[in-house]
Structure 1
Amino acid sequence: MKIRQLANEERPVTTWPLQGYAFEPSPMAAADAEKLRDHLPYHRQNVTLVVEEDGGETLAAVSAFPMRQNVRGTVLPMAGVSGVATHPLARRQGHVRTLLTQLLGEMRDEGYAVSALYPFRSSFYARFGFAGLPKPRTVSFSPADLGGLLNADLPGELRWQRVRDGYDAYRGLTERLLGSRHGFSLAPDYQAVRLRDRDDRWLASAWLDGEMIGAVTYRIDEHGGTLTGDDLLTVGPLGRALLLQFFARHVDQVARVSMVVPADETPELWATDLAVQTESRIAFPSSVAPMARVLSLDALDGLASGPGRVRVEIVDDPFTAGDYLLDGGSPGSGGGRLEVSRAAGGAVPTATLTAAGISALVYGVLDPEEVPLRGLGTVPADAAVELRSLFPRAMPYLFVDF
């Protein structure tokens, strides 16, 4: 058996049959399989590793593509992991473990500071240092409940078009959110344009002074049915209010409006007498929350942080293992930028963490007191105080589904 990196043009006959079997209705018609070649441009810079038998048959595959992610205000290179699939007769033989370890190591060596994925089962990827992130919520309501917004005199304007025609401005809005929203991530341009090329969505957008301040892509299934939106993206309350006003105008066309919002959104407060259903459903392997991990602690140098100083020993990880000193400044300074260095001796509070433990703290999804309860490390009380100050709780919003 051997491991090798795949060339893009090989995908239709090597990895895509495995991935199709794992994630799509199968078997696929031969004519549909041939059409997959049209998707090659959307994968041209993906890094795909495969393990092959001596005869050349592909037994397993793992892919990563170059993304960017906002981590506490700093945009870092992120490896988005996807397409993890194994031949049905070669499962549970350690192939994915081998491939994923090599892939993450290669991506780290190329400068990717963090990685994220959507797991088929969280416990499997927790062994690779990934920590769970919150899943966005699905919100559903009747447009009739937004009637009070119809006559509201709001500044700004609404625009409605096919996503193909508004794609550039929409992409610009996501770039703006990438710079301001913790956890927000973006796929590379060559992959993101699939939304434009499919052109199977409407785009409703809110504008103020010539700038897009909110947008949602959506489809309508039938008259009297549901307007199903993707992620509701806004830079503030005005953009959201304008888009809700747009939905209110569909009162005589659809019975329900549905869309995706970040986990920290509060739809029950959007309008008076809004009967809204907010849901986040986890089911394996079909409806999962994302996970992320830190691939390089050194790459976090300069990250926004609170005050604090602590030594952390990262254990049981091939990428981040070692002793580090994390310094966010003295309490009187109010904190600022994290300094990461190799730890030396001295009377500094010390915590022992797994890769998943430090990742959960960096992303802000666990308090230091929760880390040992989850089996992700040992955090004495004095170290917990420093870590809590360095990495306050935060709510990451991954956005891109891949």
Structure 2
Amino acid sequence: MELTIESIRSGDRERHHALMRQAFGGTDRFDPSAPVSDPDKFVCAYLGDQMVGSVLTFDFAMTWGGRRVPCGGVSGVVVSPQARGRGAAQRMLAEALRRMHEQGHVVSALYPTTASLYRRAGYEVVGLYRRTRIPVAAIDAGGDALEWREVDGSSEVLASLHDDLAGRLDGWFRVDPQWWAFRNHRQAADTSVNRYTYVGSRAGADVAAVQYRYAKADDFYDLEVEVLAGLDVEAVGAALGLLAGHGTTARHVVAALPLSLLGPHIPQLQLTSTASDWPWMLRLVDAPGAVAARGWPTSVAGSVELDITDDACTGNAGAHVLELGGGEAALLRGGSGRIRVTIQDLAMLYAGCDVAGLRAACRLIEASPTDLDLLAAACVSNPSIPLFF
């Protein structure tokens, strides 16, 4: 029977839910009242009348160099056991990439269960979704005093404050409203979790928000932070201070925040530890578009001649010249193609991975010392990522 790749068919959302449960060990029942996505956001594999695989995409805007870059978030890649070995996952990913390119997404991000599958589709690991365990007693709670109020978990203020902070941190992303709708619906249906959401204001203006839940730990409870955002360093500190006030019932705060946000409010960072790590991967869907969309260091000027290999998005392939100057960059077709790079190499450079480390790993082998210096000066970033999707 022929395997076909297409959008989800009418009436197949319950089948999609069953595939997700089987693949990821879920136990929740299908909820017909859940928010409905555009059918074209689902790329599905069918054997005859039966759906045997799916990929779901979201519309994000990921921050790079202080600018919002259109990003396709990839989630829920599943193939049922009877359909494996037919190339279904690669074909679904190829179609998802085609659609993302058509919709104007210039980069794509995902969390892999196995990196090799997605590396074949042009993705590369560029960072970690890291959750840090912070002793409650280690948080400096003596910062800005805000007026706090409890709000519903679906409050638009929570999303707005998160999106504002996301616009200032590389790797963070403004979230697709559809994704927020799915998330809010799941949270409302999950009565087994004690979850709380607070918004803090200063002089009548909302400046901070935090959403957290209690999680049973070996030593009493931990507070698992799901969203924490602030308009400035004092607001972030106030949100952490609100959590620190739970010291009689919780031993730790666990949060996916970078050291740049945590450091000013935790004098003894050595007391923190890594609660969990999960790699995340990036792909340049439209390499010239991705290069043009982000911000670059204003002090860097020059050019590098590249020969790009991209088997999945062939429009990116071939000889290009990377031109940098004035805080802008362009990837222009032409040049000698002197330095051979894969689309995965470009993803790592885009995300600020160590240029010397790439060379040591036998990448960029044709690059001269001048080329390497230019790339090292231009490709500067330390991305983190705040939400699991």
Which of the five TM-score ranges fits, normalised by the shorter chain? 0.7 to 0.9
Letter in 2 for 1:134: G
Which residue is equivalent to 2:378? 390
Partner-residue secondary structure (3-state), 2:241: helix
Partner-residue secondary structure (3-state), 1:290: strand
Q: Say whether residues 1:219 and 2:220 are aligned partners.
A: no
1:92/1:257 Cα in 2 relative to 1: closer, same or farther (>3 Å)?
same
Task: Note the residue ranges of structure 2 that are not aligned, 5 or more in a row.
Answer: none
TM-score by length of 1: 0.83
Partner-residue secondary structure (3-state), 2:386: coil
Which residue is equivalent to 2:344? 356
TM-superposed deviation, 1:79: 0.9
Q: Percent identity?
A: 20
> Is the contact between residue 158 and residue 243 of structure 1 (CA under 8 Å) also seen in structure 2?
no
1:258/1:390 Cα in 2 relative to 1: closer, same or farther (>3 Å)?
closer
Which residue is equivalent to 1:73? 66
Task: Name the CA distance, whole Å, in 2 between partners of 1:164 and 1:16.
Answer: 24
Task: Give the one of 37, 41, 46 matched to 1:47.
Answer: 41
Partner-residue secondary structure (3-state), 2:272: strand
Which residue is equivalent to 2:57? 64
Aligned CA-pair RMSD: 2.7
1:313/1:372 Cα in 2 relative to 1: closer, same or farther (>3 Å)?
same
Give matches, 1:305-384, under 5 Å.
305=296, 306-319=300-313, 320-329=316-325, 335-344=326-335, 350-364=338-352, 366-374=353-361, 376-381=363-368, 382-384=370-372
Which residue is equivalent to 2:18? 17
Partner-residue secondary structure (3-state), 1:243: helix
Partner-residue secondary structure (3-state), 1:16: helix
Letter in 2 for 1:238: E
Which residue is equivalent to 2:280? 290
> Is the contact between residue 371 and residue 379 of structure 1 (CA under 8 Å) also seen in structure 2?
no
**Which portions of structure 1, spanning 4 or more consecutive aligned residues, are displaced by more than 6 angstroms?**
none
Task: Name the CA distance, whole Å, in 2 between partners of 1:273 and 1:328.
Answer: 40
1:133-164 deviation line (CA, Å, top 9, x unaligned)? 32243233443444x63xx4x44514141433
Which residue is equivalent to 1:191? 179
1:337-387 deviation line (CA, Å, top 9, x unaligned)? 112321245xxx9421101100110111x2233334445553412322222
TM-superposed deviation, 1:268: 6.3
1:61-96 deviation line (CA, Å, top 9, x unaligned)? 222122221122221221111111111122233111
Task: Note the residue ranges of structure 1 that are not aligned, 5 or more in a row.
Answer: 283-287, 330-334
> Is the contact between residue 7 and residue 39 of structure 2 (CA under 8 Å) also seen in structure 1?
no
1:372/1:68 Cα in 2 relative to 1: closer, same or farther (>3 Å)?
same
Partner-residue secondary structure (3-state), 2:385: coil
Which residue is equivalent to 2:257? 261
Which residue is equivalent to 1:285? none
Task: Name the CA distance, whole Å, in 2 between partners of 1:377 and 1:3.
Answer: 36
Partner-residue secondary structure (3-state), 2:82: coil
1:324/1:21 Cα in 2 relative to 1: closer, same or farther (>3 Å)?
same
TM-score by length of 2: 0.85
Task: Give the one of 91, 98, 104 matched to 2:91.
Answer: 98
1:242-290 deviation line (CA, Å, top 9, x unaligned)? 123222322223333322212x4474663446773320544xxxxx211
Which residue is equivalent to 1:38? 33
